[in-house]
Structure 1
């Protein structure tokens, strides 16, 4: 007769249940499906972000071509526009220089005779026309403009004015003044004050030039 030993008896299902080993938990030692993306979020790029290398259209909100909003349009190679105080002082310096030369030329010939002063005015206009045309043809600067750090430039690209532009500018500034004296210079200057965006006087419009800073 066999004896029953309860210690050797197996429960239903065969043997004692063991809790020593736990089944692997997802995420503890990696996915059991290693090598396969488990989620669309595994894509390395950020959703909705810019493509590698940046956007071909630049930053949002910028003006086309990189032109800053407000102010005169920027032309390639164009320095900043010259200020009105610098332009006016440059003209005054040139005016005084030419007056001194014209006076020195006419005084020995006519003395202080009234007709001599009339001749002096004609000499002044002629000298100023030649002086302005020659100096601007060389480097776009008269002596007054050199002192005030401004120069004349072509509107198209900011380069030195060519011979035709230089002499056109000088002629339109000087010749009408012979007919209406200094009134023409007042009208010419006021035109530039209200001109947008390049502050061009009438002689600038005629020659397609602008006055820019050399600083």
Structure 2
């Protein structure tokens, strides 16, 4: 019987078995550290988005209330506008523009962790949905928002981890 491990291979070097098997080194997934968004800018963007959302809802709902009074149809429309704004403000903008208005002002973008591309509408909706669900639980909502302060290497909040997204700096 021939011992093939001791015979030279066609490339001119001797093959020896590797024990234990060596795991291949995987490239780091995610953007380079200098592109990651600053936590302070993320906070400013969130505050701006909250102000814009309140202004949007007020601009639509206040005239309905003033014109309709205590009409139940007007109240139902107002509630629908509020819920629609809450549910669609962030996912639509994230999908269409790569960021909400507040993040665009702060020159931040939300991208997929694996390749840096823009989010699909489904992923943007899932990201917002996970953020909304985490926000319902009082201490978990605080933990979600602060998670990017100590997360390494990608400075992700918990909702970013759930949606496999990352917030980066970018020019507009």
Q: Secondary structure at the match of 2:168?
A: strand
Q: Deviations over 1:37-67 (max 9, x none)?
A: xxxxxxxxxxxxxxxxxxxxxxxxxxxx8x8
With a CA cutoff of 8 Å and minimum separation of 6, indicate the structure with the bigger relative contact order. 2
- Contact 2:134/2:144 (CA < 8 Å) preserved in 1? no
**2:48 aligned partner:** 93
Q: Distance in 2 between matches of 1:106 and 1:92?
A: 21
Alignment CA distance shift 1:163-1:154 (3 Å): same
What TM-score do the two structures reach when normalised by structure 2? 0.66
**2:147 aligned partner:** 191
Q: Is residue 134 from structure 1 mapped to residue 89 from structure 2 by the alignment?
A: no
**1:148 aligned partner:** 106
- Contact 2:31/2:113 (CA < 8 Å) preserved in 1? no
Q: Secondary structure at the match of 1:157?
A: coil
Q: List alignment gaps of at least 5 residues for structure 2.
A: 1-24, 71-76
- Contact 1:125/1:174 (CA < 8 Å) preserved in 2? no
- Contact 1:152/1:210 (CA < 8 Å) preserved in 2? yes
Which has more radius of gyration?
1
What is the RMSD of the two structures over their aligned residues, measured on CA atoms? 3.4
Q: Secondary structure at the match of 1:211?
A: strand
**1:209 aligned partner:** 165
**1:102 aligned partner:** 57
Comparing both structures, which one devotes a greater share of its residues to helix? 2
Q: List alignment gaps of at least 5 residues for structure 1.
A: 1-64, 68-72, 114-118
What TM-score do the two structures reach when normalised by structure 1? 0.54
Q: Secondary structure at the match of 1:153?
A: strand
> 1:1-215 maps to which residues of 2 (within 5 A)?
73=28, 75=30, 80-110=35-65, 124=82, 126-177=84-135, 179-180=136-137, 185-215=141-171
Q: Deviations over 1:6-38 (max 9, x none)?
A: xxxxxxxxxxxxxxxxxxxxxxxxxxxxxxxxx
